[in-house]
Homo-oligomer: A and B are copies of this chain.
Amino acid sequence: MEAITIKDIAKALNLSTSTVSRALRNSYEINPETKRLVMEYAEKMNYRPNPIALSLKDSKSKSIGVIIPEIANHFFSQLINGIESIAYNLGYHVVIFQSHDSYEREVANTNYLVSRKVDGLLISLASLTTNLFHFQDLMEKGLPIVFLDRVPKEIETHKVVADNFDGSYRATVHLIESGRRRIAHVTSPIYLSITTERLAGYKKALEDFDIPFDESLVKYCIYGGKVVEENEAAMEELLNLPEPPDAFFTASDRLTTGCMAVLQKRHIKIPEEIAIVGFTNISVAELLNPPLTAVVQPAMEMGQQAVELLIRLIEHPQKTGDYEIRSLQTSLILRDSSVGSKVNIKVS
């Protein structure tokens, strides 16, 4: 007979797996009646916690695994510094892995970290990840996981994100108020949470100023700027539109600097001909030519809050309240790349 899992119990009782899991751990969040129901059924069906789950529980390694898309990105390196600043003081090692935005690597990294018995995981999803089973499976086995920045809708746990909608909304409003009307949005793959949230902010701003949304002005770069050719092709298409953009709103470090490089190569004046606002934590924004207007995420703080939530899950699994989604405020820092000599155009 195949062993019964938490999933089976959940299905049989018409409950969520996380409810069953918490009921079995005797969490105070689950009402006594549900607990009794779950435990009785589990006993009847001879449910035994998975041995991996047990080993995960029994051998605390005082280490946290972090899997991020890439470290050569100021946002992620600041995120990690935030994580380390808290973890180190609480006696946890921080083990860093890059997924390089590859689903296969993310799975391989996850399996490795689990085999090495980390106490919990902090994850920012790879852009090519669409299947979440590798995480769902571990959570079911009781491994604490907290997601940050690029988070999955489908998994219920703590999540820490920047307020992408608001950051994007304010950046777009700023461009509109500076007189721009054809604002291109060059962004990451459509299936990432950050992409849809930023796109929604951009659309809302256009709507609030009665500027019709034009699909041809939005470019999704599946490699997020890491493949120069992809970025250049997107720029090329935008610049060759019958009505080309008068502003770029770019969604990452590399998309932003890649975009500036293309404009420079083409001798297009920033901001006179085309303005740029980037969603970026690049440290040299001030030193660029021209200095770059940026939506800056509180990356350090995001890392700190995520690791605090994770360590709470690790150390007090029974005290876990409802899972939180924390959304932190971004800052819009105005610099020459978007403000300056562009003449305000009134739309009739």
Contact = CB atoms under 8 A, between A and B. Distances in A.
A71 B63 contact: no
Q: Is the interface of A mostly helix, strand, loop or mixed?
A: mixed
B93 A96 contact: no
Contact of A284 (B80, B88, B97, B282): B282
Contact of A93 (B71, B78, B109, B284): B109
A287 B105 CA distance: 32
A261 interface: yes
A288 B288 CA distance: 4
A124 to B, nearest CB: 14
Nearest to A111: B93
A71 B291 CA distance: 24
Contacts of A80: 71, 98
Q: Quick one: copies of this chain in the complex?
A: 2
Nearest to A88: B105
Contacts of A112: 63, 93
Interface string A265-292: 0000000000000000011101111110
A71 B264 CA distance: 29
A57 interface: no
A26 interface: no
Given A72-B74, A261-B286, A264-B287, A95 B98 contact: no
A78 to B, nearest CB: 7
15 contacts: A63-B112, A63-B116, A70-B77, A72-B77, A72-B283, A77-B77, A84-B100, A93-B109, A95-B97, A96-B96, A116-B116, A264-B286, A264-B287, A284-B288, A288-B288
Interface of A: 61, 63, 70-72, 74, 77-78, 80-81, 84, 88, 93-98, 100, 105, 108-109, 112, 116, 257, 260-261, 264, 282-284, 286-291
The 4 closest A-B pairs by CB, nearest first: A289-B289, A72-B77, A96-B96, A71-B71
